[in-house]
Amino acid sequence: MRAIGAIVIAVAIAATLYVFATGSERGETPPATTPASDVFTLPDEIGTGFYTDDERNNIAVFESASPSVVFVTNTQLRRQRFSLNVQEIPRGSGTGFIWDESGLIVTNFHVVYGASKITITLQSNRSYEAEVVGSAPEKDIALLKINAPDEDLKALPLGDSSSLAVGRKVLAIGNPFALDTTLTVGVVSALGREIKSVNDRTIKNVVQTDAAINPGNSGGPLLDSQGRLIGVNTAIYSPSGASAGIGFAIPVNAVKVIVPQLIQHGKLFRPVIGIETLTDYWTRRLRVKGVAILSVRDGMPADEAGMIGVREDGRGNIHLGDVIIAINGETVTNEDSLLSQLEQFEPGDVVQVTTLRDDEIQNYDLKLVAPSE
């Protein structure tokens, strides 16, 4: 009897497997292996079939944000070698996004650098020539403007990059390799990274992501799972020039500060103390640790505080004056770090500048002023 029972059970199992296998071959849907709460049918306007919550979120963010993403084309005027005729030559392309309904477009500075003409193509396939409102090469941000109908100008909602954490889901939309409106998904891989801009300035507090960023993605938005802008994709780290799982984005909180300055001044607005500095080349040659002052401008804060620059004695020997080594206790190592420190303040702020002069520490309290236009 036990043998007969075992045979019956084996036959039943075999029959079940046969029905399952033949059903799959006929295209029938097998039983769900994921929990029922994780699988659902999307509304008709998104599509049919079974999707996970995460897939549905990806689709919803893409459909909501993609109308705000634009294609940026950079062309230059060049004279032909033999005919001397002037032609428009494509120089490159990238991505941008609509900042507000007035037609302001944010992209990377390196996307539009050297352009004779910039063309913006919207999701409606309408194209408009753009004017440059302002640029901040030290942050790799450029602000453009187009005149387009209101119905074509849908701005992205702004998020808060200070709330980001490693592991948080992010989505990137762009035009990699000139392929129109492509979505990639990943996570925040690291925070507080530093990268170099096109003019060799350091961009700090950059967001690192493993969402695929390729040539053409530059200037496109990095979004959170709510479809809010949290960064501007700007660079990749890759020996081959294609995505290797390490991409970088300028945090949106920095962009929120930069854009108003570009609207008002056309460039990044940084308070000054009224000095000219030795170049990093001479600083390295002289083995100076810090930023050596070359000269001070009359009537400016550094001059009024008694700071001095390079001096020459009667024998023609050069003597260094003040060498800036810290601002408000934060170490200054080169001109790049000095400028980055000053960018944190506004005209009217008082800062303590620490210098080294003739092997003695000097402290000056300086009231920052606005740069002369």
d(Cα 47, Cα 60) in Å, to the nearest integer?
11
Domain that holds residue 329: 275-367
What is the Cβ-side half-sphere exposure of residue 154, based on CA atoms within 13 angstroms? 15
Across 57-71, 139-153, 269-283, least confident range:
269-283
- DSSP track, 251-276: EHHHHHHHHHHHHHHSS----B-SEE
Which residue, 265, 298, 333, sits at the end of a domain?
A: 265
**How far is the C-alpha of 93 from the C-alpha of 114, rounded, in Å?**
12
What amino acid occupies position 87?
Q
Average pLDDT for residues 235-242, to the nearest whole number? 63
Domain-embedded: residue 99: yes
Would you state the pLDDT for residue 177? 61
**Do residues 260 and 169 both lie within one domain?**
yes
Same domain for 174 and 260?
yes
145 shares its domain with 166: no
Average pLDDT rounded to a whole number, residues 147-158: 92
DSSP code at position 158: B
CA distance 246 to 252: 19
Residue 139: CATH number of its domain? 2.40.10.10
**Where does the pLDDT of residue 166 fall: very low under 50, low under 70, confident under 90, or very high at 90 and above?**
very high
In this structure, is residue 50 part of a structural domain?
A: no
pLDDT band at 76 (very low <50, low <70, confident <90, very high): low
Rounded average pLDDT over 142-155: 93
Burial class (CB in 10 A: 0-12, 13-18, 19+), 13: exposed
Give the amino acid at 23.
Answer: G
Q: Is residue 44 part of a domain?
A: no
Return the pLDDT at 244: 65
pLDDT tens profile 8-48? 444 444 444 443 344 433 333 333 333 433 433 445 555 55
Is residue 258 over pLDDT 50? yes
Please provide residue 353's backbone torsions phi and psi, each rounded to the nearest 5 degrees. Answer: -105, 120
Q: What is the mean pLDDT of residues 353-365?
A: 93
Tokens in use for 367?
A: 């009231």
- Counting the structural domains of the chain, the total is 4
Q: Is the pLDDT of residue 212 over 80?
A: yes
Judgement on whether residues 176 and 255 belong to the same structural domain of the protein:
yes
Tell me, yes or no, whether 39 lies in a domain. no
More confident of the two residues 104 and 76:
104
How many whole angstroms separate alpha carbon 279 and alpha carbon 160?
Answer: 37
Task: Tell me the per-residue pLDDT of 222-232, one tens digit each, with 9 for 90 and over.
Answer: 999 999 999 99
Q: Give the CATH number of the domain where residue 348 resides.
A: 2.30.42.10
Q: What is the pLDDT of residue 170?
A: 96
- Residue 114: both structure tokens together: 């050297």
Spatial neighbors of 345 by CB under 8 A, at least 6 apart, are: 271, 351, 368
Q: Mean pLDDT across the chain, nearest whole number?
A: 82
147 and 183, same domain (yes or no): no
On whether both 132 and 210 belong to a single domain, the answer is: no
304 assigned to some structural domain: yes
What does the CA dihedral 223, 224, 230, 236 come to, rounded to 10 degrees?
-60
Q: Please check whether residue 48 lies inside any domain of the structure.
A: no
pLDDT at residue 287, rounded to an integer: 84
* 3-state DSSP assignment of residue 191: strand
Looking at the fold, whether 293 and 358 belong to one and the same domain comes out as yes
Whether residue 167 is found in the same domain as residue 254: yes
- The residues that are catalytic are 110, 140, 218
Structure tokens at 351: 């800062």
Decide if 112 contacts 132 (C-beta within 8 A): yes
Final residue of a structural domain among 123, 152, 181: 152
Is the pLDDT reported for residue 188 higher than 90? yes
Distance of CA 342 to the CA centre of its chain: 21
**CB count, 10 Å around CB of 159?**
21
Please indicate, yes or no, whether residues 296 and 250 belong to a single structural domain of this protein.
Answer: no
End-of-domain residue from the set 97, 132, 152: 152
Do 289 and 358 fall within a single domain?
yes
Domain assignment of residue 306, yes or no: yes
Q: What is the pLDDT of residue 168?
A: 96
Q: Please check whether residues 93 and 166 belong to one and the same domain.
A: no
132 and 212: one domain? Answer: no
Residue 46 lies inside a defined structural domain of this protein: no
Q: Which is more confident, 95 or 37?
A: 95
For a pLDDT cut of 90, what percent of the chain falls above it?
51
